[in-house]
Chain A
Amino acid sequence: MLKFRGCQHFRQRLVAATLSGRAIRIDEIRSQDQNPGLRDFEACLLRLIEKITNGCVVEINETGTSMRYRPGFTVGGSHYVHDCGKSRSVGYFLEPLLMLALFGQKPLDILLKGITTDMLDPSVDTWRTVTFPLLRKLSDSLDGLAIQVLRRGSAPKGGGEVSVHIPVLTAVPPISLTEEGMVKRIRGVAFSTRVSPQMCNRMVDGARGILNPLLADVFIFTDHMSGVESGLSPGFGITLVAETTSGQLLSAEASVAMTNHEHGSLQVPEQVGQQAAHALLEEIHRGGVCDSAHQGLLLLLCALGPKEINQVRLGPLTPHAVRTLRHLRELFGVTFNVAPEADSHTIFLSCIGAGIKNISKKAS
């Protein structure tokens, strides 16, 4: 049994443990915190994993500072509904859910309820416009990967609903993504819930003011939801996606919710648009075939890939990506070769994949 400490990389530990079939134990979870133990969103994630898998065993001590996880296998299926709570957004739960469902017995159809956009996790728009297209590009068998935003929900009360369909994968295809390309178009989505529809246009103006001097092909959709579709709290936000000539997608986002207002960081829509545009420029400046938020996902896919060379080109590694690399070595025995490229400040990472196969599917 592999033993870890602390709550860092909690989701990826559970995912990697499940896919590698190894039991793990995590001790000292926030043991030195004034509020020790697992948080409600982590318990909520464990409930979700118990829901979609068969045979997994989760044991937590009285204070919640230690837990043991013995993985089962993902069943999949349809008509699942999960309330993600109000602490973290749907994006927090989608990351592990996606990887577990890809290696399931049957395709997964699930309705996730909660907050659809916050500044802690990728928003549902990022999932729809960047993450899922990235995965669809990697394998033809992932064409059915789809996410539909039925209702938007801003923090703190949420009220959003997202329908997700995740097909199953026999094995991860070989990955070789090293061509960055040049940014040829920028697309985006600006949304608002329970505030004036004019907020969307003002965010678009703010973002275009920064981006248009560099590129004319900037088109940002506006998505104002009203009534029950707008969730329970007021909020607005924008997601921007830069598409390069080699087909790579880089995303950045910014949003405002009432929780931010309470802390005195009230922002006008133009500022939010500018913030997202600045973040997108930062992502373009960092380079690599994906933005900083998707580094961990690409590295995980490389490690799960076939027993041949899988290579990606990334910008400066984020703390999350470094933690991913360390955990991939422990749980799959995959060590990446790291080759920095000095002129462009990018890093070429290559590995021999662990050759993880979906045990529920016959190899074709």
Chain B
Amino acid sequence: ANALFKSRGVELHALIYSTPAAVNSIHAKHSSAYPPPPDQNGNVSSDDDDLFKPKAAPSQRPGEDTAEALDALDSCLALNMDSVGEVWSVPAAVESLRNRFVTGDWEAGQARDAQNP
């Protein structure tokens, strides 16, 4: 799932659209986002010990936000402040952004703007 959020990869389109948002769109193959349907007796799980345990889907682990989580938090803010703080507290990392500012190399900035796949 991490590949979804990387800018690399020719299969990005397929990764994004491989999971349908609506149940209507699920065809023969069940995607990972949706659990398998109940069997003929209506049991999803055959293990009786699990009956009284609250089930958490694998994608709903605390602190993990994936596009597949059925009950994911509805929020458009995505940055993990802890990891961001670690990365940008290094002076060298901050300096690597110099060309994104007008105080840096303008030619590098214009070349970046001109890039088009």
Interfacial residues, chain A to chain B (CB-CB below 8 A): 2-12, 27-30, 32-34, 92, 95, 119-122, 178-184, 210, 213-216, 245-246, 252, 254, 274-275, 277-279, 281-285, 292-297, 315-320, 322-323, 325-327, 329-330, 335-348
Return chain B residues, CB-CB under 8 Å to A30. 71
* Complex interface residues of chain B between 75 and 106 (CB less than 8 A to chain A): 75-79, 81, 84-85, 87-89, 94-95, 97-104, 106
Return chain B residues, CB-CB under 8 Å to A178. 116
Instruction: Evaluate contact between A8 and B74: CB separation under 8 angstroms.
Output: yes
Instruction: Evaluate contact between A10 and B74: CB separation under 8 angstroms.
Output: yes
Of all chain B residues, the one with the shortest Cβ separation from A254 is B81
Instruction: Evaluate contact between A33 and B54: CB separation under 8 angstroms.
Output: yes
Instruction: Evaluate contact between B17 and A278: CB separation under 8 angstroms.
Output: no
Instruction: Evaluate contact between A214 and B97: CB separation under 8 angstroms.
Output: yes
Instruction: Evaluate contact between B77 and A325: CB separation under 8 angstroms.
Output: no
Of all chain B residues, the one with the shortest Cβ separation from A297 is B76
CB of B91 to closest CB in A, whole Å: 8
Known: A322-B4, A340-B8. A182 touches B71 (CB 8 A): no
CB of A45 to closest CB in B, whole Å: 10
Contact of A318 among B19, B73, B78, B89 (CB under 8 A): B78
Q: Indicate whether B56 reaches chain A with its CB closer than 8 angstroms.
A: yes
Instruction: Evaluate contact between A3 and B24: CB separation under 8 angstroms.
Output: yes
Interface string of B38-73 (1 = CB under 8 A from A): 000000000000000011110010000111011111
Contact of A338 among B16, B23, B76, B97 (CB under 8 A): B16
Return chain A residues, CB-CB under 8 Å to B87. 278, 282
Return chain B residues, CB-CB under 8 Å to A340. 7-10, 12, 117
Of all chain A residues, the one with the shortest Cβ separation from B4 is A322
Of all chain B residues, the one with the shortest Cβ separation from A328 is B21
Instruction: Evaluate contact between A3 and B23: CB separation under 8 angstroms.
Output: yes
Instruction: Evaluate contact between A345 and B8: CB separation under 8 angstroms.
Output: yes
Instruction: Evaluate contact between A184 and B102: CB separation under 8 angstroms.
Output: yes
Known: A32-B56, A281-B88, A316-B6. A214 touches B98 (CB 8 A): yes
Known: A278-B89, A293-B76, A318-B76. A342 touches B8 (CB 8 A): yes
Bound-state CA distance A9–B19 (Å) is 14
Bound-state CA distance A312–B15 (Å) is 19
Interfacial residues, chain B to chain A (CB-CB below 8 A): 4-10, 12-13, 16-17, 19-25, 34, 54-57, 60, 65-67, 69-79, 81, 84-85, 87-89, 94-95, 97-104, 106, 109, 112-113, 115-117
Instruction: Evaluate contact between B19 and A326: CB separation under 8 angstroms.
Output: yes
Bound-state CA distance A342–B10 (Å) is 10
Return chain A residues, CB-CB under 8 Å to B98. 214
Bound-state CA distance A119–B65 (Å) is 15
Provide a sorted-by-A list of 17 A–B residue pairs whose CB atoms are within 8 angstroms.
A3-B23, A5-B70, A7-B72, A92-B74, A121-B76, A184-B102, A274-B85, A275-B85, A318-B76, A318-B78, A319-B5, A325-B16, A330-B24, A337-B13, A340-B8, A340-B117, A348-B117
CB of B106 to closest CB in A, whole Å: 7
Instruction: Evaluate contact between A8 and B70: CB separation under 8 angstroms.
Output: yes
Instruction: Evaluate contact between A325 and B74: CB separation under 8 angstroms.
Output: no
Instruction: Evaluate contact between A278 and B70: CB separation under 8 angstroms.
Output: no
Return chain A residues, CB-CB under 8 Å to B104. 182
Known: A33-B54, A180-B112. A319 touches B21 (CB 8 A): no
CB of B86 to closest CB in A, whole Å: 9
Known: A278-B85, A341-B7. A120 touches B101 (CB 8 A): no
Contact of B100 among A183, A246, A297 (CB under 8 A): A183
Instruction: Evaluate contact between A348 and B116: CB separation under 8 angstroms.
Output: yes
Of all chain A residues, the one with the shortest Cβ separation from B114 is A179
Return chain A residues, CB-CB under 8 Å to B79. 252, 279, 282-283, 292
Of all chain B residues, the one with the shortest Cβ separation from A4 is B22
Instruction: Evaluate contact between B100 and A317: CB separation under 8 angstroms.
Output: no
Instruction: Evaluate contact between B84 and A278: CB separation under 8 angstroms.
Output: yes
CB of B9 to closest CB in A, whole Å: 7
Instruction: Evaluate contact between B76 and A122: CB separation under 8 angstroms.
Output: yes
Q: A6-B69, A32-B60, A346-B7 are in contact. List 6 more A-B contacts (CB 8 A).
A: A3-B24, A210-B88, A210-B94, A323-B21, A330-B24, A341-B7
CB of A244 to closest CB in B, whole Å: 9
Known: A122-B77, A341-B117. A316 touches B7 (CB 8 A): yes
Return chain A residues, CB-CB under 8 Å to B60. 32
